[in-house]
Chains A and B, each alone.
Chain A
Amino acid sequence: MGFQGDFFQLLKERGYQFNIPAPNIGEPGHTAQPSLTQGTTVLALKYRDGVLVAGDRRATAGNTVMYDRTDKVLEIDRYCVMAIAGVPATAFEMARVLEHSFKYFRRSQLQDLSFEGKLRALSKLLKENAPAALAGTGAVVPVFAGYDPQQGCGKIYFHDILGAEFEGVDHAMSGSGSPTIRGILHYLNRWSGQPLSTLAEEEATIIILRLLTSAAEFDSATGGVNFEANLYPIIKRITEKGVETIPAEHLKTLYTSKVAQYV
């Protein structure tokens, strides 16, 4: 049991149920459709020193704005974050399971879980969650990013709702606003004359603020920047020093000087 360092297994042995199966899935008359677009925009991109991960702060239910201060870029441990799109209840629970799983592994096995091991843990949770995702009650489409201290580089992965993982070589995004920015990022990376991976932190941050503002322009479920309410996206940098949040004050300065004037 514990000697494997598997916290999720331990939880199950103690009677914990991660996923309550949807009651009527597969039965005739079950009409709920899996919703594949999730109201949000989160993205990760590799820049010169590591990875930047960002997310807007709006949470929606249908046409209603539920909350404008959500943190969708969740720190799982010192070196990795999960940016979430999808059903928040499931996503936050996944983040909690992961956070405890990684700590439990490190403390019990006296070694850090490898980056691949962490990715695998997330895939496993998504797979467990597949019934709820397909029933339309618990789909989560995360972007998982981090710095791999063993290999000395930043890494980005994105997932589908069933748990398949794909590596984002330069960038990855998720949520209903992501189609808007996907094309822009591809264009910038390819033809702007400055590939994303060569950008300094400030330049990359400006691009992210512009992208999220663009996403909010075309997607009502993305919050973007709310200047009047002093609300800025959450942007975290992950480098060899670990995960750090870029202060909102700094985002405000960049937004005022480099983003607002072009809108």
Chain B
Amino acid sequence: MYEEPYRWVEAVGNRREYLDDQFRQGSPLVAVSYVDGIVLVTTSHGTPKLYEIYDRIGLGGMGHPADLEKLRFSILDMAHVEGFQRSPGDVNGSRLIKYGLAPVIKQAFEEIFKAPYITKLLLADMGNLPNQDRYFTVDYDGTFEEHHDMAVLGASTSIQDTMRTYLKSQVTPVASTFQAVLEVAVRAWALGALSQSQDNENTDASSSETPDKDQSSESFSEEQILEHLKTVLTEKTLECAVLERNIPGSSKYRTVDQQELHSLLPLLSQTTN
């Protein structure tokens, strides 16, 4: 029945609707450059959602954990075989995404008799200087984008725009310290999560009408953002990883543990009480 072009377009359209729906409850993701590295922030229910891919490359994702794992393994294989057969310096995020992951995701998305990957990915590739850092995001349909300074994942394009605008107004990557940039990243995350839940409420309230996207996001106060963060963190764990430019050894990726997070973010300690 999908032989007719119209049916195929319709099927892909349905697929978009289905997938958009899958991300509505997902945890957004924020990655920002600072002078000594890159900070990645999200929340999880125990299973980590931030991963080390290669010496200077970190990965984060939204979506179905099993799909995320599958794609993570394929990018790990690519990176390590390349790094071994050539040199670690030849492994870069751009090629991994453009020639590795994106085509696979796109193909799965368009083969309408098979299941698509329910994932959005963000890959951070750290350079020697903040202005050499590169970020790549891949949507569930295989569309990829390249960013400088910072990148985000969220349930929809408008939520991602809101988060990015907020981040841009708060950080100057070359001047920021780890602690400062971590705090902004956590706030940007909370803004994204809050906007998502607002959107969900709107959609539920008026499921027949199209939700007015711009009405919800832009106008949250700092208090509302913090309040939402506190609520979320009663059930979920804040997860943070960092790529550090200047640590010794070839692997630059490090998971920031809860103890360190609490000492760096006073606002977290307030929430646990």
Contact = CB atoms under 8 A, between A and B. Distances in A.
Interface of A: 2-3, 7, 10-11, 14, 16, 78, 96-97, 100, 103-104, 106-108, 110, 242
7 contacts: A2-B76, A7-B80, A11-B81, A97-B84, A100-B84, A107-B51, A107-B76
Contacts of B83: 100
Given A16-B85, A104-B80, A78 B249 contact: yes
Interface residues of B, number: 17
A111 to B, nearest CB: 12
A2 B48 contact: no
Interface string B66-102: 0000000110110011011100000000000000000
Nearest to A244: B248
A96 B51 CA distance: 23
Contacts of A78: 249, 251
A108 B54 CA distance: 10
A106 B251 CA distance: 11
Contact of A108 (B73, B81, B85): B73
B53 interface: yes
A16 to B, nearest CB: 7
Contact of A103 (B48, B74, B81, B251): B251
A14 B73 contact: no
A2 B251 contact: no
Contacts of A3: 73
B52 A10 contact: no
Contacts of A16: 85
Interface string B128-153: 00000000000000000000000000
Contacts of A7: 80, 84
Nearest to A2: B73
B80 A103 contact: yes
Interface centre among A10, A96, A106, A108 (most CB of B within 10 A): A108
Contacts of B81: 10-11, 14
Contacts of A10: 77, 80-81
B76 to A, nearest CB: 5
Contacts of A97: 84
Given A2-B76, A2-B77, A107 B84 contact: no
A7 B78 CA distance: 11
Contact of A96 (B48, B52, B84): B84
Interface centre among A10, A104, A107 (most CB of B within 10 A): A107
Interface string B155-196: 000000000000000000000000000000000000000000
A106 B55 CA distance: 12
Nearest to A108: B76
Interface in B31-60: 48, 51-55
A11 B84 contact: yes
A172 B83 CA distance: 32
Given A16-B85, A107-B52, A100 B80 contact: yes
Nearest to B80: A104
Contacts of A14: 81
